[in-house]
A = this chain, B = another copy of it.
Amino acid sequence: MPVGTLASVKGVPQDILEELGVQILLGNTYHLYLRPGVEQIRRLAGLHCFMSWPRAILTDSGGFQVFSLNDLRRITEDGVTFRSHLDGSEHFFSPESATAAQIGLGADIIMAFDECTEYPAEPERARASMELTLRWAERSKKYFEEHKHEVPWTTTHVEADALVRLGERSSPAPSDSAELNSPGRARAPVPTRAGETQALFGIVQGGMDPALRKESAERTIALDFPGYAIGGLSVGEPRTLTREIVEATLEHLPKDKPRYLMGVGTPEEIIEYAKLGIDMMDCVLPTRAARHGLLFTSQGKISIKQARYAGDENPLDPNCNCRVCRRYSRAYLRHLYASNEVLAQVLNTVHNLSFYLDTMRGVRHSIGLG
């Protein structure tokens, strides 16, 4: 899942994301709650309509971002008080309010409010944190069950063909793009989904202790969610430990429900985690690295800022068929980056996303072949 923090994958128009084959985007509740605000997005019929994105969206609970604020937050049983990174104003997220925010945003998949245990953590601290996450998961689910029909989908100003489009949802993704760009259409169609609700996923915590992870998984499953995430990883621990904990957690998660590993990873890592049984991942790496001129290719990483590419007429990745590699040379991309041109960010991001999505298409193909 590419990350579209503020309802935009930085620098990339939605029709190009569709062309790339993006099936689902991640939005950050903390950021959207601050700007433009949940009520604004609710009034505009939810994130899909707001950002004109008819495909799937997942929002995180805001927990991870709030915990990342460090000095700016205070945690109690009830929830987390934090200060905005924008203006220092004080806010409060609880399992109830974070779930309410996510219902208002109206993503397809939303996440229970959890505490992301820091690394390293003492055993008693890891247990206490896990127990808190379990109590918060229960409260998140309770609030969700009582309020899930408040999702703004039902108030969507749908177009005449929206219902038709809903039936087309299983058709190959790239066809949307041409249709959206046909003249005379006022706005991108977003399916109406009267009667449907969002899917609330639970999050497994437990620090770096396999036994705690097992307990967290079993007790989260007992709460009965339609999907489960593995949280609290990629927080500074060594990669071998990440993998160990992923394996130790996965064996306790049901195979017939989506298993989502949060916040990973490199192209090599996402292949490895998929092999272990992970179904969903999100990471800022492809988009953030692109903004720093770090590009993923079939021949390894390229730092496009390097002078060695100044006269290089080759495409960025000769094995890539994305619109950047089809059209531009490394020399041009290097020039754009060195000259601080905005197009550098646009093109670099398109390529890195293409590389990641190609990687996952390859994974799905391999799974299909057994």
Contact = CB atoms under 8 A, between A and B. Distances in A.
A341 B36 contact: no
A50 B331 contact: yes
A187 B10 contact: no
A44 B311 contact: yes
A326 B35 contact: no
Nearest to A34: B339
B346 A13 contact: yes
A264 interface: no
Given A36-B339, A40-B310, A187-B328, 14 more contacts: A7-B332, A8-B343, A11-B343, A11-B346, A14-B327, A36-B331, A43-B311, A50-B332, A157-B313, A184-B321, A186-B315, A186-B318, A187-B327, A342-B342
29 contacts: A6-B336, A7-B332, A8-B343, A10-B341, A13-B323, A13-B346, A13-B347, A15-B327, A35-B335, A36-B339, A40-B310, A40-B311, A44-B313, A44-B331, A50-B329, A51-B332, A52-B332, A180-B327, A183-B321, A184-B321, A185-B326, A186-B315, A186-B318, A187-B315, A187-B327, A187-B328, A188-B326, A342-B346, A346-B346
Interface of A: 6-8, 10-15, 35-36, 40, 43-44, 50-52, 157, 180-181, 183-188, 310-311, 313, 315, 318, 321, 323, 326-329, 331-332, 335-336, 338-339, 341-343, 345-347
